[in-house]
Every structure is written in C-alpha cells, then in structure tokens.
Chain A
C-alpha cells in the first residue's frame, strides 16, 4: 500500500472515525439475554462522545456490521451492553477475553451537552439504557446534578442500576412491578422537575417522553434506532423521518445526523 492510499483525506484526528482492531478484555452475562463486553480500544476511547455508537463486524452468518451504543469509556477501554437478538449479537456474546473485534467508530452525533441545564434527567427504556450512562457521567462532570429514570420489562431485565446510582438520583420502574416502582417511566417523569431530557428506548416511550418534555417546556433529545448498512452516511439506508424547519418532511439518517435528535425534529407517525 502506498502512503498516498493509506492517508485519509480528513486530517481532524479526533472527529474522523477509524477502523480499529480491538481486543476483548471481558465479557459478562448480566442476565438471560443481556451481556456486557469490554474491549481495549484506545483509538476509539479518545473519540467517544456520549450517545455515539460503534459499528461492529460480527462473525457467523452476518454480512452487515451491527451498531452498538457506547455505554461507558474508561482508560483506553470501551464498554458495550447489548441484548442478544439474532445472529450478530449472539456471536458477540460468545466472545472471550483475547479475541479481536473489527470495530468502526466512533460514529454519529451524540447528546449535545450544552443546554442541559442544572438538573437534566436521563430517561431510558430497556436496551436503550446503556448509552445514557456515559451521557449522565458527562453531565455530572460539567457540574450538573443529573437524575435517571430507567424502565424495564421485569426484574430480570434490569441493568446498570448501580452505575447510574453512583452518578445521581436513580429511579427504576418495571412494567410488571417485579422490581422498583410498578409502572412506566413516563408516570414518574410527569411528577419530576428537570431542566432537560435525554432519552433512549422504544419509539413509543420516546414519543411519550418527548410529549411530556414539550408540555414542561424543556429541551428533549432522543436517540433513535434504524437498520444500518454502512453506518457512516454513505448508503442512505438508515432513514428516519424528520420535520424540516419549514414543516416539510425529509429523511435524515440515524448514523450520521443522529442517532441523537432534537425531539422536535422527529416525525413520530
């Protein structure tokens, strides 16, 4: 390979994503289908911003990479928390320390940290909870007093509670009442005071959270999901409907314009 070919065009070392070979340092089963994977990835760790994701090449029968949010960064390591859904995440859950992963990152626009105010609240649902951890950490680091409201289906699905508790007041709800408060995150959010909302989870939850934030007159950011091809904005595969400033509909792209969007922009259908 000549040098000319190897050198990327964009010189900005920190915002330019890279393809990194990362060594798995730990894989832990959190519950039946939920796993935590830590990998040594110094090149990605310096780039990671809260709400960003990585695009992981999985083995087995998969062709496309799988997008997974960055849950936490410490030292030169990235922590991912994921749910086994199909072939890709199943393969990922079977990794062992010492295995290498081919990872693109860090990708997307994360949570905007300016304008969170003194008391931001982080609202997560199920497997949408992980990316909020790094965001809440960042909010705290900039002097805010963040809180978290985390919703899960049932007791066995609860993840990361102690990590969130260490960062601020954390309330957990379960749909079936088997743990924490019986009910949905929106039930709690309605009764809390906050200066901004950052949310990630199922679309129905995001929509309800966005409506409450709007009623409360505070800014709300939501992290969306869509099936991805390239993960970097080239294939236009991960479309999501957005409202233009003039009210018209357009398709933005979760991987490049998002995954975090201003809730006011999102067309909920």
Chain B
C-alpha cells in the first residue's frame, strides 16, 4: 500500500497511546477470542470488553436479538462472568496483544460502580469505561445516565476510586446530551464515549407480542450513525476531554465522519456481525482517506467539521 511517507495514526487518549483510532465497542467483541480467529487484535487501537458487573450475570432470556432496518436491537442484559473472573481469566489472554484494554464496567448502585472502579484500577487494564446506561435500583430503575444530578453523583463517587483514566460512556436516551456530558466532565470524567444503544422496540404483528424477551432493547448499527454523529458533535461543542465516538460505524468514511464531528478515536460495534474483518477494513480505508487527502496526522481530523 502506498502509505503517505510519514502518516501518524497514533492517538493520545487521556494519557494512553492508542496505536490507531480504531477500537471495538463493548459487548460486540466479547473478550477477543472469537474475532481473534479472523484477525489479529493487535491491529486495533483498543478493545472495550463485554460490560462487567460485580458478580456473574446470567443475562436475559431469549430472544435477545431482533433485526431492524439497517441495524439491530439487543437485550443481552449484561451477561458476563463477573469482574473477578475477568481479571483472572481474561486479562492474561488480552495482554498477549499489542492493544489497549478498555474495561467496561456497570453497576446498579453508586456503591457498585465505586467497587468496580476500585477493583479494576488495580488490574492490568489501560482505561476504564463506565457504562452509565444502567438502571439505578435506588431510583426506580431510571438509568444513571439520564439525569445530570445522577451522573454527577455516580461519576464523582467513582472517580475517587479511579487509578486509571476514567471514560464515562453516555446514554443517547436523553433530551440534552451536552448537559449530561458537562455533568460527567464536571464530576471528573477524563474522557467520554458515546453513543450507547438507543432504546427501541419491535412487535411481531402475527403474535402481537414484542420480539424481544425484555420487550424493549438497544438499537445499534448503521441506522444510528447520524444520531451518533450529531451527539458527538454536540458533546464536542460542550466539553474539552477526549471523545471515543461510536454508533453505526461500518466504513472508513463513517469513521472519518465521526472524527470530524469531534471524536478523537472511534469504536466499531454491530458492524462486526456483518463483517468480522470490519475494523481492519475501516483502518485500511481510513489510511487510504488520509493518503488521498495528504493528511499526515489523523489527529488533525478531530473536530474538523467545517460549518
């Protein structure tokens, strides 16, 4: 490939060097074993692992997946082996690869988040990604990430236990994403990632029942790209911290779009299910775009949208 003479793909992401801005999104890449059969994970800038909880979680009953126009709904329900088994069983595997490990953590109470962040801080991971789309059991199950005061409470509490850079992953199911972003950064978030899935629902018209066991589920895939680009753009206008942009990316040009909106790095999720080599192709297409446009440093794209 005729790379530009000197092309910088590396991104400094709150103190951690990502070798390139292409990462994979939590919940779509497991702990790396499966897609590791198709390509070497060392090709990636980082891997966000399946969302972890204090104890093993069974997840929701089937069906957990429904197709939608240009996307999918899921209600996996955070099935995971629990943080302890992640640390002992999965980190050694992931560490074989030359890529940043992003530990995605969830909780149902402020204390759970604090405990998770404390524990994962002492483990061999590079970044912590706090998923605040989870229901707050003390608040009638309303998601932490939907109210600025709850975001402030949970992030400022968890931040005290963080010995690694703390990325707060925002829920798109809010009226004003900029307000939520400001609350997270005000409470100490070192970076933000967005978007998590959009709440959706499908109904089987023959049985008149919801398709998913849980009734509702999270929408992702190409359908959400414009929503994600818009939200990343709004968040970039509101805060200065690094942004990991995701939602609907499946091509190099989608990734460039997300960077131009204001992301510093991007993540690929559901597109993996169509094409297991998607992240590798997105990276190649990104390089091609940079070469074609005589851009030497990928970082210069970030926030480069011209209005």
* A residues apposed to B, CB below 8 Å: 1, 4-10, 16-19, 57, 61-65, 102, 104, 226-241, 249-251, 256
Contacts and interface: CB of A to CB of B under 8 A. Distances in A.
Contact of B67 (A17, A63, A226, A230): A63
B144 interface: no
B137 interface: no
Interface of B: 1, 27-30, 33-43, 50, 58-72, 74, 76, 79, 221-222, 270, 272-277, 280, 283-284
B79 A236 contact: yes
B70 A236 contact: no
Shortest Cβ-Cβ A-B pairs, 9 listed: A237-B65, A234-B30, A234-B34, A5-B43, A9-B36, A232-B34, A227-B65, A230-B273, A229-B273
A63 B36 contact: no
Interface residues of B, dominant DSSP: loop
Given A229-B65, A235-B273, A237-B64, A1 B76 contact: no
A239 B77 CA distance: 11
Give the most central of A18, A234, A241, A251: most B CB within 10 Å: A234
Q: Main SS of chain A's interface residues?
A: loop
Given A4-B43, A63-B70, A65-B273, 6 more contacts: A227-B62, A229-B273, A231-B273, A232-B37, A250-B58, A251-B62
B277 A8 contact: no
Contacts of B64: 227, 236-239
Contacts of A226: 62-63
A239 B284 contact: no
Contact of A65 (B43, B74, B274): B274
Contacts of A249: 58
Contacts of B61: 239, 241, 251
Contacts of A232: 34-35, 37, 276
